[in-house]
Amino acid sequence: MTAAVVRRSALAKTKWHLNSYRSDAKPFRLAVKDNIATEEFPTQCASGVLGQHASPFEATIVRQLRARGASVVGKTNMDEFGMGSHSVHSIHGPVRNPLAPAGEEVTAGGSSGGSAVAVAINDADIALGTDTGGSVRLPAAYTGIVGYKPSYGMLSRFGVVPYANSLDTVGLLARDVESIRQLVFDTALYEEHDSSDPTSLSVETRQRCSKAVPPTLPKLSQLTIGIPVEYNIDELDPAIREAWSATASALEAQGARIVPVSLPSTKEALCAYYILAPAEASSNLAKYDGVRYGIRGPEADAAGETLYSEARGAGFGAEVKRRILLGTYSLSSEAMDNYFIQAQKIRRLIQQDFDRVFRLDNPLYEPRQFDLSEMSADTALEDKQGPVQVDFLLSPTAPTYPPKLSDIMKRSSIDAYMNDVLTVPASLAGLPAVSVPVKIEQSHQFPAGLQLIAQYWDDRRLLALADKVMKLMAV
């Protein structure tokens, strides 16, 4: 059977290399997160169970970027299977933030921490990461670079080892917005459907979505940018809040209209995320039983005893085991209705919250008439049409500056989950979001990461705005 798989891959290889380079290819160095399959490097997902795994095929996104001039410089460290916010749960050890002062060990964020660092220290021009609940945006914010999570279904996931399929997206990290925008839009990457990925949008849907969003960003004076009030949480570091507010003021000074908006379901987002993502993870990781993938223990798994417990016990790290158990519980017949089903309902509410505040309709759904009674009582009305609608949302990416690794180790896993509170809503709604570094005077040694969120498929304008914000706030 291995032979069959290898034959397939050999065939595929020939095919890929026949049309390898596009005429507009510009050479660049690409770092690839370890959960994205590449042919010449192992694909281990920073996990013991895949310690020996060499993928017989290459992910579509890697192939697409190779055709655009990418040379893969290496695979990057991460949290095991993407589960973590600080890139510390790895068989290779934790990732360290290069911006930290000498002698201090500070988190680079996760789970795509290795990708962020590769870009931050100029080992790569572009890095591929995956963003399930903030795993590209968070390390970008901590390391002072740009992290972009595209609309769900835009970039192919074929060859990406899934953590939670319905949330997973392939994201890009770079030192500036422009190189990401060029790669995704100037080379028409966003138009390419991948028939190997059932969640990759069809060409027709892509065209329909593209028609539903304006092609270019207007002047700032014609834009309304929302400040989601629910994101102003108590845990927010005052300096981050200051960066947020300074950025909003700078945009306002440029003529943009800044308005507060309410996304009332935000409070439930983190809970919903930590039900849904582990549920899918527990299912996805069921394959690592030591038969095809993973390590077999010396003990035979006799019938009647628990099958494969030893193989699974030995291969996975603590955080992965914790999430598998969490997901296994929320899918069990006694908990399904109270957890998994409820979380799915919340997910829908969150997506509707976003649809209500964005001026553009979500091209994936029929336009929906929102009833005032569905909104919270203190929602300010713009006019008789209802509350104000916005083009983009601006928020911090992370509640704090990157903490020290020693502090992270002391914290409970629930505290660690808190870190995702600002990034998870866009993931649940499948919306595009980007984190850009912002520096304010007399500020912290680290830049603050600010997040911009847009309506579905409004990625091109989102990146254009992100570019403006980054340049505006560069010190």
Known catalytic residue: 135? yes
Residue 307 in the binding site for other proteins (CB under 8 A): yes
Please confirm, yes or no, whether 219 is among the known catalytic residues. no
User: Is 310 a binder of other proteins (CB under 8 A)?
Assistant: no
Does 289 bind other proteins (CB under 8 A)? Our answer is yes
- The C-alpha torsion from 38 through 39 and 45 to 49, rounded to 10°, is 160
Residue 160 is a binding residue for other proteins (CB under 8 A): yes
111 catalytic residue (yes or no): yes
Q: Which stretch binds other proteins (CB under 8 A): 95-103, 215-223, 326-334, 360-368?
A: 326-334
**Site track for other proteins across 120-159, x = CB under 8 A:** -------------------------------------xxx
The residue (of 165 and 389) whose beta carbon lies closer to other proteins is 165
Residue span binding other proteins (CB under 8 A) among the ranges 67-75, 164-172, 209-217, 456-464:
164-172
CB of 386 to other proteins, least distance (A): 32
**Catalytic pick among 111, 156, 330, 395:** 111
| Binding span for other proteins by CB under 8 A among 192-200, 359-367, 392-400, 417-425 | 192-200
Can you tell me the distance from the alpha carbon of 397 to that of 240, in angstroms, rounded to the nearest whole number?
9
Among 11, 121, 229, 286, which residue sits at the site for other proteins (rule: CB under 8 A)?
A: 286
> Where do we find the tokens 């309410």?
262
Measured CA to CA, the distance from residue 33 to residue 20 in angstroms comes to: 21
CB closer to other proteins, 331 vs 464: 331
Contact segment (CB under 8 A) with other proteins among 99-107, 195-203, 404-412, 451-459 equals 195-203
Nearer Cβ to other proteins (80/289)? 289
Sign of CA dihedral 72, 75, 78, 81: positive
Min dist. Cβ of residue 84 to other proteins (A): 18
User: What is the smallest separation between the CB atom of 300 and other proteins, expressed in angstroms?
Assistant: 6
Quote the least distance from Cβ 42 to other proteins, whole Å. 11
Q: Is 279 in the site for other proteins (CB under 8 A)?
A: yes
**Interface region with other proteins, contact rule CB under 8 A, candidates 51-59, 181-189, 238-246, 252-260:** 51-59
Which residue is catalytic, options 47, 87, 115, 135?
135
Is 6 or 121 the residue whose CB approaches other proteins more closely?
6
Q: Of 38 and 419, which CB lies nearer to other proteins in the complex structure?
A: 38
The verdict on 346 binding other proteins (CB under 8 A) reads no
Residues that bind other proteins (CB under 8 A): 1, 3-5, 8, 36-37, 43, 45, 50, 53, 55-57, 59, 157-162, 164-166, 195-199, 279-280, 282-283, 285-289, 291-293, 300, 307-308, 328, 331-333, 336, 340
Task: List the catalytic residues.
Answer: 33, 111, 135
